Structure 1
Amino acid sequence: MKEIVYFLVFIISLIFANPLIAFSTVDKFGVYSWVDSLSSSGLALNEDEFDELRSNPFCVVARSGSPARRYLKTLDAVRRKKEELIFKYHSASSSEEENEVIAESISYINAMVYRVLFPLWVGIDWDFNGVPGKVPGVRRPIACGHIVEKILQDSGFEIGRSRGYRLAYLAPWDFVRSVKGGEPDHFRDWVGLEGYFTKKGSGLYILGIWGGYVGHILFGYYDSSGKLWLLHSGIHPRGASVSIDDGEYYLRDFMYWDDLWITKVDAGLARKWLEGEQIIPLISSDRRGDAYGGK
């Protein structure tokens, strides 16, 4: 019974916290209700991750105030939880305890991005030059690179600049390379990428796709059932907006003619998160950096 109550509180709080519902009296986005998609498309974390999420009140979007204030309160909850984990990380008396904190941090980042932060932007229009505001707003369209940078920052990562460039301005390869802090994994076919996901397992990924003239930056969430979900801002069958879509459906076609670079939110990135190390844009003269991922 207790678990059911937690679940209902979580879902209700997210419905009322969704800026798309609060900002518009008409549902101009039609099928963009992410809550509906949870039941209609099977979009979900695995059972253990979801049980952990719904039993922790810090993961629930605040239920009072305006939509903007709710989002800001969510960011404040992220900050407080990060401070708690940083304290535990620096207080660890053994490598085992340190690794436990790192694992908890990865789970927290995954849950916040996939379950809380990103869904609150779903339905907002895409624009190649779109730069987001501090909170989601229907009058502020957003480019593919900017949504990924924004969500990384709002989930607690420190994002720096290099020679005036921000992360969102980078080409796909440079973007993923900057996040990882080294050479990312590279694929040119779906079979290879599918094997990579099987090997690496469930979790959150950052992907960069080079389409010849313009790149595409996005998140991927690979769940425990072997399903890949793409979290992105771009063009899709229902229009051009921030969306959550079937990864295989998109990437099988993309990868007939594109390069894809990828990295996972893993222990290395979790350490950056815990130690406050900035993700610095790495700008390359290599031809792989020719395609920009949206400004």
Structure 2
Amino acid sequence: MLEVIFQALVFPGLLFTVAMAFWFEYIERKVTARVQSRVGPLYTGPRGLLQPVVDFLKLLGKEELEPRGADKLLLRLAPVLAVTIPIFGMAYIPVASTSMPLNFQGDVLLVFLLLALSTLTIAIAGYSAITPYTSLGVGRLLIQYSMYESVFALCLAAVVVQASSVSLEGIVRYQAEHAPLAIYQPIGFIISLIALLAKLEKRPFDLPHAKQEIAAGWLTEFSGRNLAYMRLYSDLSMTWGISLVTVFYLGGPLGPGYPVLGPPAGFFWFGLKALLVSVVITLVSASSTRVRTVGLARRFWGRLFPLMLLQLSLAFLLRWLV
């Protein structure tokens, strides 16, 4: 029982997930600044490491402004619910070993449910403000969701098919016996990174909160504590999304020395793989320009979806051949 509580509240649950979220935000800001010839976080903490934490705490103390006519209950409740979903999802991620106390047979299905609930929560948050910018931002969000979510789900489904398992532990053990699934399914791995960019609303898929067009989109009317939670939600979603790609395609904690050293080696390899994934998606985001909605549909429905169907078909063959 104590082990389960520790996993939910400390590692890899609440405290660890929040710390990782701030770490990935720092990496994103530093890499983006380097690509765009800027400075990025520098003074708060060692080389600006604590800047994301200070920004979050600063927003908690800011004044909250709520638009007239907004649904105040949903406006205050939605950010809290949004934050809990990726934290809850991270509690099932095999971070340091192939088996975690909360894992169960079929937890991949829970992952699909949480992916849908996270977008639903953001839609509720945006519509609760009832202003033109937030409504337009949520409309773009739902359009984008209808395109990337099916592609991302197919990426995860292809892994499930080849591994013949609907549990995260089974998927990691399959890769321990064979090799990281990114080797067998390179198309799915690359497409999952593209879909993850769309899910996180990073360039070139930042249509729901395009600042040059619709202010901050669905985030426009949030301020103070609510804005702090929504910014934290974005960082937590990046942490959870990167962790999913790391587990499904890169073997999670598996790596040289893991069979001998166990969890310490597993944590090192998981952290290194997650860091590499975060740097890759940040480099793509920092060097890309925003696509139009028409271009979004052309890329996902016209190109990525057929490729992912091909990868899914190949996964059925690999299930029997490997």
> Which fold has the larger relative contact order, with Cα–Cα distance below 8 Å and residues 6 or more apart in sequence?
2
Question: Higher helix proportion, which one?
Answer: 2
TM-score normalised per structure 1: 0.31
**Which of 1 and 2 has greater Rg?**
2
Question: Higher strand proportion, which one?
Answer: 1
